Amino acid sequence: MAKGYWVSVYPVISDPEELAAYNKLAGPAVRAGGGRVLSNFGRVVAHEAGIAERVVLIEFDSFEQAVRAYESEAYQKALSALPDGFRRDFRVVEGID
């Protein structure tokens, strides 16, 4: 079975402290959904039109598990804690079997 991944790119984070409420809720929600953080706050070398800001990569045992974790009540609560006007590029991606 192919793994599932959450891939998030944050174009600009002007005030990281604004994310504190989201981070407090998102971490436990991700772990409860079976997610494992593979990259967070790591170094980035961007090419072409890439964004060199924060990139987060989270692995799940399956694509379906990744989708369920995103749709979970706990993660939806975390999303509601994101600051107004906050932007990110977020995707759930299926890995290669």
CB 97 within 8 A of CB 1: yes
Query: Which stretches of the chain drop beneath a pLDDT of 70?
Result: none
Helix (H) or strand (E) holding 18: none
pLDDT at 86: 82
CB 83 within 8 A of CB 19: yes
Residue 63, token pair as written in the block: 């694509």
| Cβ atoms within 10 Å, residue 71 | 11
* Domains, in order of start, for the chain: 4-94 (3.30.70.100)
Residue 85, token pair as written in the block: 């006007």
pLDDT at 74: 97
How far is residue 57's CA from residue 91's CA, in Å, rounded to a whole number?
Answer: 10
pLDDT at 11: 81
